[in-house]
Amino acid sequence: MADGLSVFLVEDEALIRMMMADMVEELGHHVVAEADNVRDASAFAMTAQYDLAILDINLMGLYVDPVADLIERRGKPFLFATGYGPELLPSLLRRRPILRKPISLDQLKVMIDSLFPDAVAKTPH
């Protein structure tokens, strides 16, 4: 994967979404779809072409688990980026990787590298 991973980013806070997109790009990957609510995220989850999804757990008061279910049905890897703990997730999703906010570039790199050991990513400075 010489040109990095395609990432689907789901986050309802615009500033956090922009920061996460910047980190994804800095690591040599690219954001191909973004959503800030369950409805749009569900549509992208089923139609967008992506290698990895990064999901916030709470989107404007609604939990993201229906979106996670759709992504899981497609067999796509995903992780959660949240200020919440795994106890808010349905039990079947608790086994998924979780990054706790605030997320550092190094933490994001380690998580992506663990999910995609063959992906070429830039080393953060």
Percent of the chain clearing pLDDT 90 (strictly above): 74
Q: Which residue has the higher pLDDT, 52 or 117?
A: 52
- Which pLDDT does position 92 carry in this prediction? 67
- CB–CB of 16/108 below 8 Å? no
Mean residue pLDDT across the chain: 90
- pLDDT tens track for 60-118: 999 898 999 999 999 999 999 988 766 766 676 778 898 999 999 999 999 999 999 88
Residues 74, 79, 84, CA angle at the centre, nearest 5°? 130
* DSSP-assigned letter for residue 93: G
